[in-house]
Structure 1
């Protein structure tokens, strides 16, 4: 039996939504702390915080599924998201240029790295669609 949407419309829906939002915020906060720890040379702290961030993101996904917030047509979503991820590369690179113009070289480099991740994500999603559809 699927857990998709099982709490939607129940007395638990609002609590599940609060948990969902809290876990999403937690994932972002722990990822940010991991970034700061890495910047300060605290590799072990960074790695552990990133593991916590991934767990929090997974928990957020669970609560989103319970309340039916996700589209349960996985490959339809991937078909739409792949091109968006790929198009993020150019947009983020242009944004990094603006950041660099402000003299924020290190920040621009990090944004450029994120841009490359977006391109990789687009390729991963495209590959999944091609292999499983």
Structure 2
């Protein structure tokens, strides 16, 4: 299942790239077809990832980490856009600046979802919390996950929160 999820996720990237290339060549109908395929591949990837247990069923702590990463991602993408602009690729940098704002907006939307649906504190007294030292993802359980669902790092990168 993990290989299926990864293959489908790669398909999302591939089809969206093909759509961009087709659009650049004026092939709007081909671009639309590639986008439709990319959207379907995204659904497939999510299905296989769920079947494989890639993300926790009690997902609100995970969503908190995703929100933080999205908010942080705005500055990271903006910084990269500045470097791309300095390298002489202004058009690409302009688009990346839009992406940066979208990343920040994702963080805002996630915060709104958390306020609306998430329990105040989904960590019961006595439960252990393990934090990924790379991305800050917090896992509640007796042991860290084998792989961080947010950044893909191994269990050895987790430290117990005290």
TM range (shorter): 0.7 to 0.9
Are 2:36 and 1:36 equivalent residues in the alignment? Answer: no
Query: Comparing 39-48 with 108-117, which one deviates more in the overlay?
Result: 39-48
Unaligned residue ranges in structure 1 (runs of 5+): 1-15
Would you tell me which structure has more helix in proportion to its own residues?
A: 1
Q: How far is 1:127 from its partner?
A: 1.0
| Alignment: residue pair count | 118
CA distance in 2, matches of 1:73, 1:38: 40
CA deviations on 1:42-101 (whole Å, 9 max, x unpaired) are 333223212211211111111111111112222222111112101111111111111011
**Match of residue 4 from structure 1:** none
1:93 counterpart = 2:44: no
Runs of 4+, deviation exceeding 3 Å: none
The structure showing larger relative contact order (alpha-carbon pairs under 8 Å, at least 6 residues apart) is 1
User: Which protein has the bigger strand share?
Assistant: 2
1:57 paired to 2:42: yes
Structure 2 residue matching 1:96: 3-state secondary structure: helix
SS across alignment from 2:53: coil
Question: Is it true that 1:24 corresponds to 2:9 in the alignment?
Answer: yes
Task: Work out the CA distance in 1 between the residues paired with 2:2 and 2:69.
Answer: 26
Q: TM-score, normalised by structure 2?
A: 0.67
- Is residue 2:115 matched to residue 1:115? no
SS at match of 1:103: coil
Alignment root-mean-square deviation, CA: 1.4
Structure 2 unmatched runs, 5+: 119-162
Distance 2:56 2:15 in 1: 26
